[in-house]
Structure 1
Amino acid sequence: MPSNHHMPKNKSASTASVVSTTCPYCGVGCGIDVHIANDKQLTELKGSSDHPANFGRLCVKGSKLLETNSPSGRLLSPMIGAKKASWEDAIAQVATKFNQLIAKHGSDSVAFYVSGQLLTEDYYVANKLMKGYIGSANIDTNSRLCMSSAVAAYKRAFGADAVPCCYEDLEQAELLILVGSNAAWTHPVLFQRIERAKKLNPDMQVVTIDPRRTATSELADMHLAIKPGTDVVLFNGLLAYLDNHDAVNTDYITANTQGFEQVINSCKPWTLSQVAQQCDISELELHSFYRLFAKTDKVVTAYCMGVNQSTSGSDKANSIINSHLATGKIGREGCGPFSLTGQPNAMGGREVGGLANMLACHMDIENPEHRQTVQTYWQSPTIANKAGLKAVDLFDNINNGKVKAVWIMATNPMVSMPNRQKIAEALTKCELVVVSDCVAKNDTLDYAHIAFPASCWSEKDGTVTNSERRISRQRGLLPAAGKAKHDWQIICDVAKAMGFENGFDFNSANEIFAEYAGLTKADNQGSRGLDLSGLCNMTETQYNRLKPVQWPVNKQYPDGTKRLFTDGKFYTQSGKAQFVLTDFAAPEQLTNTDFPFVLNSGRVRDQWHTMTRTGKTSELSAHTNRPYLAIHAIDAQRLALKNDDLVSLSAAHFNNKQNRVLLPIVIDNNQRQGEVFAPIHWSASNASSANISALYTDANDKISGQPELKHAAVKLQKVSYQYSGQLFIRQQLKVELLREYFDYFVTCPVDNGHLVFFATEQEPAKIKRDLQQQLPLYDEWVNASGIDLNSSCAMRQGVMSLIMFISVNHNEVDPSWINSLLISENVTPEQLHGLLNIQPDVQFKQGKLVCSCFKVAENTIIDAIKGGCNSVDNLGKQLKCGTNCGSCKSELSQMVRLHQPKNLIIEEDQLITLEAVS
């Protein structure tokens, strides 16, 4: 039976109920309504119409949560080595080893590496155990990889990690600047809100600043394709321009800030021509942008990983904040510097001290009074008195033997951390590697000595905080699968086994939240913005019914707070915001003759992080079914590359023999020349050679510790294999087996089976022979061979179960055609003949899938555009694409722009001839 930690919206005699919860993906924090039948079956899911983050909207990832919530691939029992174990034995071994190491080597010999996938209550007890009971600050989080530079910038400017804006500001802005953010793909629901706002207010201006022209740029009135790493130059130049054109707000600066004179003097050398030259954009477009910022009253600058993931990410963010402070465009409607959070609960982790350089509840580890406050409140035996190891340094210290045990929770550092080879070496050397996760296999679990099965979304119960400081309930819908436990329960069990019974005797997430809320109140007379004193005394029923609310929540703001700093007061010692001196510094890993290309990284539209959830469903793999390397056509021509050619990538620090990176080419003129882009999601669990983290060095921001994951210097080399092809199979083949057959491969789910893209030097006959030996239950095999094509089909009890194509010309077939045959119980002789000769039916010649919701492919869309569908709205009316989750609308807009008749332009869904416009 589900726990009573959720509250049904309604319940009838048929035992059907609807429970409101929160999406577990990005930092937007969308509300979701889930229909539950008989307390055990999730039957339907839709966006919560009353949740202030999304008002009923969901992106394609959120809308497919039920499809990815299957028990397949789950870790369901504790593991010691490769064997199942009892909870008692696994907990005892971890606790004993931790105690032994601490007694022998000190508290800093152990560490936790946690995650923005944890709920706030999980995060809280992990931080409490490490800092207040073990006595070390060696707890860091994968939020270090995405948000720590934004945190550092806010703290330097405002005195606290306090996001000043709310989502409504994105809609009410007269000018919205998106910097280093492909929000159309990474924050789709926010992007839909922005799209709607712009449609309702055509005077609203949108500027995108990004080396790539992304799907987000389709909405932009102006796109600045600046040279990677030059954001500080751009915004320092903006500050100089504002000062030179009397566009600074001197009254606001005088009343509410400090340090302006020193900062503006440092920016004066950045003239328009110098900025244009350094950023590699024209003076005309630069001047247009600066003038637009200067003359517009309501400006929001929203920024994401393109700003943060840099050796100067903190300075980049502060240069943005400086521009807003100088113009007073902060603390009021439609204004402010807005950091868009990456993960669902990165903000919650920041609140409870999940980063190694802070205490809980926005208190400072270097502040004796704050340490006293926290230790007194916890009644803990000790308190960490210095900052712990940030992520890169943490794995360095594991590698050199100073940290001898690490507990990794809900994250996959083998894939997400830079310098994969070093991470592997560190985990191999570590005396004890503990991993808590909900999946049975990922690249990091391969190194675990002990693995704990954790609950996942639909089972987890607690709170998360989104990008606008909004706390929402993520409610348990189902009991935990197998022997899985909530992360907070596992942490408390280990703590008690270590001898810390008094501090971890929690029975529910509600009890933990109450303690956390009380700590935000302790010794806080308005000195800290994070104040949940208004939520301190909630009953369990009130906690279960908690509605989304933005902190601070206190006597002054009992219903929460939309915007911060509306009164011009900040959390610094002086009460004034601080201008921060920011200097331009080039990225650390610079290109040269041997490594001439800049490698950028990011997400694709329908996948999340390392795909342990989104990678389970064919619907989310259909849009982008394998990793790729995007390259400008001129660069491709110079290297004699064409679409789908394989290239190997290497960097100066990179040992190509150990961690090869091999990707197919996609020619894309939205790239700047000399720059390439690859997605982050694929790993050794689903591909032979696609994890790009090996190409990034340990270079990181000296203030925040955030790694530079947007700028590597690489070289490309074409790689050719004699054969390539596709293997469709109902059962999932082990990755180890695929490595025996194929030099290059990528796996992805398809309807009723799995698809493997591959390339190899092995002869087709040998591969078929080996497969027949490996798959003895496939009782009927049919083969066809031609000059450049070999086809094979295998049946099991008369049902098509395997289809393989091997070609010397690297031809590919449409997966949707094969899906239709794998699903079919009876394949006709005509279909079999077409299959062996790669002659699909007409309906399966529609090209790449664009709309995942309604299965609309690119050729169908192009035909409709050429037939007169001259806008995204009209495509939706005719084909339904873009009318559900909206994730494909930017791509549809790009297709309209590319494929509409050349003598026509689009304006407000009307066809207007060029002559008429002139």
Structure 2
Amino acid sequence: MNAIDTGLTTVRTTCAYCGVGCGVLATPDKQGGAAIAGDPDHPANYGRLCSKGSALGETLALDERLLHPMMRDASGAMVRAGWNDALDHVADGFRHIVAEHGPGAVAFYLSGQLLTEDYYVANKLMKGFIGSANVDTNSRLCMASSVVGHKRAFGADTVPGCYEDLDQADLLVFVGSNAAWCHPVLYQRMLANKQARGARFVVIDPRRTDTVGDDDLFLGLKPGTDTALFSGLLAYLADNGALDRAYIAQHTSGFDEALARAKTIAGSVAATARATGLNEVDVATFFQMFRQTSRVVTLYSQGVNQSAQGTDKVNAIINCHLATGRIGKPGASPFSLTGQPNAMGGREVGGLANQLAAHMGFTPSDIDRVRRFWKAPHIATHEGLKAVAMFDAIDRGEIKALWVMGTNPAVSLPDADKVRSALGKLDLFVVSENVLSNDTVNAGAHVLLPALAWGEKSGTVTNSERRISRQRSFLRAPGEAKPDWWALSEVAKRLGFGAGFAYTSAAQIFREHAMLSDFENDGSRDFDIGGLMHVTDDAFDTMAPVQWPLRKGPTMQQARFFAKGRFFTRDQRGQFIAPEAPELRTQVTEERPLRLNTGRVRDQWHTMTRTGLSPRLGQHIPEPYVEIHPDDATRFAIADGGYAHLTTDYGACTLKVVINERQQPGMLFAPIHWNDETAGYARVGALVAPVVDPYSGQPENKATPVSIAAVAMSQRGFILSRKPLALPPGVVHARVAVTGGVGYLLADDAEIALWRDWLAPLLGDDVASFADAGRGAYRAVSFAGERIALCLFVGPADDALSWDAVKEAFAADALSDDQRRMLLSGRSADGAASAGPIVCACFGVGRNAINDAIAAGCATAGEIGAKLKAGTNCGSCIPELKRLIAAGEAEPDQQRKVAAS
């Protein structure tokens, strides 16, 4: 089951997306693709996959892959190079820069997409042998505040609970977590608990996300006031006899100081309501639910972490669990929902600039221990620069060489335009990637190294509950692509460190990683997988998912921590932390009167380099948008379905508008995924203020002051092409994967002559066209044999133009005479109705079919599922099904709001 496929063998591996860590069964088809299914035996998902995981098989094509090393020649062009030349260039560049400017002038920027073995070698090379701790990761952008909150409270970055707690809790509190969209497999598990055991849900979020649909209580608090809410809860628990005094006395310290601070922030229900903008009844109801329920899991994610006070928010939550002894017990713990597939693995090996490997830090004893284990006399002795500070140092010219691996910082970091500019200043800019082009690559990379992609990688990842799973290769490496650990080791050898990097397999690296976790660890460190340090190559290949710690000797896996104290602090007591009073670091002004909140949508991932390849995943929300409350839309004359220009002190975007009451007045929401590769004028990261938490260095992505103004568009339309195109400048567009090629949704304020002139050189000899200059309409289709090669449809902006029928014709290998005749009309030759926007990505079920089922009598999501299969896989579309049922026969403008809400 676990070897590289040579027939149609099914391989057990792990999903490449979020931190849930779902097991996947991949069955290669011998043509470079694979059938994908959930692994029913994996304890993270028991066979269930979300829409993104289900579509992994659609992301395996090599069309946009980087398959060979490339280097920039004297003319500035990127040209193919051999591995030896590329690696020599990288090593020579790092050597010369370190010799002239010191180890602080070089850096690595890593990714939660890397396997643990890649992460381990990168950290060992930079921190252990080059001697710089300038190694950070895009995980800094999603969970760094949780790391620091854990370390302040527990003495180590320890997740106390496990997924079983989600089944056993009686109260599940979601804080800044849209789990229904971002962690749908776990969310469905929690829904099963609600349905079977009656567990109650409380959702705490400024936005009414799809997680709200199943709640028992929704608290739409003001942005940035989570600390006030949980400070008020701590004060309430103390005043109402709900503390576990024995646990506090025996296993913790700092309680009196933390309680005193909490009472100054929000010492009563009324004070909490004033501080958070909530009503007193809702606050009192939440406090009573928490007090009266012994089995409580508080789940928090980016809404907590991505904040200039993220660490204090984390500790305010943990304080309430410590105060009630609800930690490390079945159904009771604070729980951080991790964003990336191996953010946890990166934390284990020191992937953050303020960590050493094996959960050790930059203390003299830990530095000495790791130095001796690695035999690394030049080990870094102090913390390095965290992500935002690292790119600021690049901009100032202090860091002169950067190696980016598996991430896209020119899109994902705050103040992204400045980041892109900074990358162009480097003396040496190396990118390890599996895509030929993205915003970061195009920012001036000097060397491109082809990395393995999901499906080709072999190693391990760790999920949110500390469970290590194997990611196994089921496709052969294409072209000259290599593992990241191999490229790093080859550079290390060229730098003279060969003895420490003589690796020949991921299994060998894993054994060393496990040995270090055990080295001089008598139980004083939480991360310990010493029980696996002698695993053989065969045993590594077949290794089942395993939860740490797994210490050497006859010990069992440990699911939970801290029920009986024994923290990893010096006195083995959990630490209550007195948080600062909440205060947003940036202020709205007359010029920037709103706040911008950024986040994810259901079917896309990060900067879309993988999900953007799937036709299925691009159909639910195909283009970038901004969500605005009706009151603000009226105030700023913004029209639903129109376009708006967003401006902050750092950048600007032009996005489609969705007016929605689920958005809080005074706030805008825009998704993070689109970039210059997939859209025009939609790099939302360029808008975000580079304000960070003082403890974790994590950026504030949820509250940047912003202005909004309507943008007039005279035309809208679409293009379908067999290959990507360079569109005319100034066109607002979104690129969407479609069956057989690529599609573009367009909006502009130009004349149709622009499109005729641009399209003319691209058309072949067999062309059908239509033009109406008076209406501003132009349609042209170019044929290659019996199928469409290229088509363009543009028309008046107020004339809704569906591309469903044309996409269906584009996907066909051959068109009938009737289809060709009807093509320019944009209608189906057989008169079939458009499916409408896709609601269920797993089974491709459109909104029109769902509305038809509702009109025919389907009154529940279950009945729709029985009829159409919608909602029966990952379940993330169920909230939308419920809204459609409630709306009945929704009007088109209402449907638009439903689609993007």
TM-score normalised according to structure 2 size: 0.95
> Of 598, 601, 606, which aligns to 1:604?
601
1:42 and 1:728 map into 2 onto residues whose CA distance is: 24
Structure-2 residue corresponding to 1:791: 779
* SS at 1:360 equivalent: coil
1:386-785, aligned counterparts within 5 Å? 386-446=382-442, 447-555=444-552, 558-654=555-651, 660-733=652-725, 737-740=726-729, 742-773=730-761, 775-785=762-772
8 Å CA contact 1:405, 1:433 repeated in 2: yes
Structure-2 residue corresponding to 1:916: none
1:776 and 1:104 map into 2 onto residues whose CA distance is: 55
CA shift for structure 1 position 246: 0.9
Structure-1 residue corresponding to 2:893: none
Partner amino acid, structure 2, of 1:377: F
1:37 and 1:308 map into 2 onto residues whose CA distance is: 41
Structure-1 residue corresponding to 2:896: none
The CA deviation string for residues 436-457 of structure 1, in whole angstroms up to 9 with x for no partner, is 0100000000120111000011
CA shift for structure 1 position 331: 1.4
8 Å CA contact 1:33, 1:48 repeated in 2: yes
1:47 aligns with 2:38: yes
* SS at 1:644 equivalent: coil
The CA deviation string for residues 802-841 of structure 1, in whole angstroms up to 9 with x for no partner, is 3322222343433321111112355456545544344456
8 Å CA contact 2:592, 2:648 repeated in 1: yes
1:478 and 1:817 map into 2 onto residues whose CA distance is: 35
Structure-1 residue corresponding to 2:894: none
1:35 and 1:558 map into 2 onto residues whose CA distance is: 35
CA shift for structure 1 position 882: 1.0
Partner amino acid, structure 2, of 1:777: G
8 Å CA contact 2:55, 2:842 repeated in 1: no
Partner amino acid, structure 2, of 1:130: M
Structure-1 residue corresponding to 2:867: 878
2:364 and 2:811 map into 1 onto residues whose CA distance is: 66
* SS at 1:429 equivalent: coil
2:172 and 2:532 map into 1 onto residues whose CA distance is: 34
* RMSD, aligned CA: 1.8
1:124 and 1:831 map into 2 onto residues whose CA distance is: 56
> Of 880, 888, 893, which aligns to 2:882?
893
* SS at 2:123 equivalent: helix
2:765 and 2:677 map into 1 onto residues whose CA distance is: 25
* SS at 1:676 equivalent: strand
1:181-580, aligned counterparts within 5 Å? 181-201=177-197, 203-269=198-264, 270=266, 271-365=268-362, 367-446=363-442, 447-555=444-552, 558-580=555-577
CA shift for structure 1 position 590: 2.1
Number of residue pairs aligned between Structure 1 and Structure 2: 880
Change (3 A) 1:279 1:834: farther
Change (3 A) 1:836 1:15: closer
1:79 aligns with 2:70: yes
Change (3 A) 1:512 1:615: same
8 Å CA contact 1:298, 1:335 repeated in 2: yes
CA shift for structure 1 position 121: 0.3
8 Å CA contact 1:22, 1:475 repeated in 2: yes
CA shift for structure 1 position 787: 3.9
Return 891-900 or 288-297, whichever deviates more.
891-900
CA shift for structure 1 position 785: 2.0
* SS at 2:56 equivalent: coil
CA shift for structure 1 position 381: 2.7
Change (3 A) 1:37 1:612: closer
CA shift for structure 1 position 219: 1.4
8 Å CA contact 2:391, 2:419 repeated in 1: yes
CA shift for structure 1 position 565: 1.5
CA shift for structure 1 position 555: 4.2
Partner amino acid, structure 2, of 1:223: F
> Of 32, 42, 53, which aligns to 1:62?
53
Return 754-763 or 124-133, whichever deviates more.
754-763
8 Å CA contact 2:654, 2:682 repeated in 1: yes
Structure-2 residue corresponding to 1:143: 139
Structure-2 residue corresponding to 1:821: 809
Gaps of 5+ in 1: 1-5, 655-659, 902-918
Change (3 A) 1:760 1:151: same
1:416 and 1:809 map into 2 onto residues whose CA distance is: 31
1:321 and 1:766 map into 2 onto residues whose CA distance is: 59
> Of 83, 88, 100, which aligns to 1:92?
88
Partner amino acid, structure 1, of 2:92: T
Partner amino acid, structure 1, of 2:182: T
The CA deviation string for residues 35-64 of structure 1, in whole angstroms up to 9 with x for no partner, is 2356x7554221111100000001111111
Partner amino acid, structure 2, of 1:268: K
Q: Percent identity?
A: 44
8 Å CA contact 1:688, 1:739 repeated in 2: no
8 Å CA contact 1:783, 1:793 repeated in 2: no
CA shift for structure 1 position 188: 1.2
Return 714-723 or 700-709, whichever deviates more.
714-723
Change (3 A) 1:557 1:318: farther
Partner amino acid, structure 1, of 2:124: K
8 Å CA contact 1:784, 1:836 repeated in 2: no
The CA deviation string for residues 268-287 of structure 1, in whole angstroms up to 9 with x for no partner, is 23121221122111111111
The CA deviation string for residues 542-582 of structure 1, in whole angstroms up to 9 with x for no partner, is 11111111100014774421111132211000101000011
The CA deviation string for residues 475-514 of structure 1, in whole angstroms up to 9 with x for no partner, is 1112211001000000001111111111000000011000
1:134 and 1:298 map into 2 onto residues whose CA distance is: 48
Change (3 A) 1:825 1:369: closer
* SS at 2:616 equivalent: helix
1:388 and 1:377 map into 2 onto residues whose CA distance is: 21
Structure-1 residue corresponding to 2:20: 28
The CA deviation string for residues 95-134 of structure 1, in whole angstroms up to 9 with x for no partner, is 0111111111111110000010000000001000011100
The CA deviation string for residues 371-419 of structure 1, in whole angstroms up to 9 with x for no partner, is 1110101111311111000001100111111111000000000000000
Change (3 A) 1:790 1:37: closer
8 Å CA contact 1:363, 1:370 repeated in 2: yes
1:678 and 1:422 map into 2 onto residues whose CA distance is: 20
CA shift for structure 1 position 898: 3.3
The CA deviation string for residues 768-816 of structure 1, in whole angstroms up to 9 with x for no partner, is 233121x143532322426423322222234223332222234343332
2:765 and 2:120 map into 1 onto residues whose CA distance is: 52
Partner amino acid, structure 1, of 2:63: S
The CA deviation string for residues 884-906 of structure 1, in whole angstroms up to 9 with x for no partner, is 232212221232333399xxxxx
1:392 and 1:895 map into 2 onto residues whose CA distance is: 42
* SS at 1:287 equivalent: helix
Partner amino acid, structure 2, of 1:468: E
Partner amino acid, structure 2, of 1:779: D
8 Å CA contact 1:78, 1:451 repeated in 2: yes
Partner amino acid, structure 1, of 2:304: V
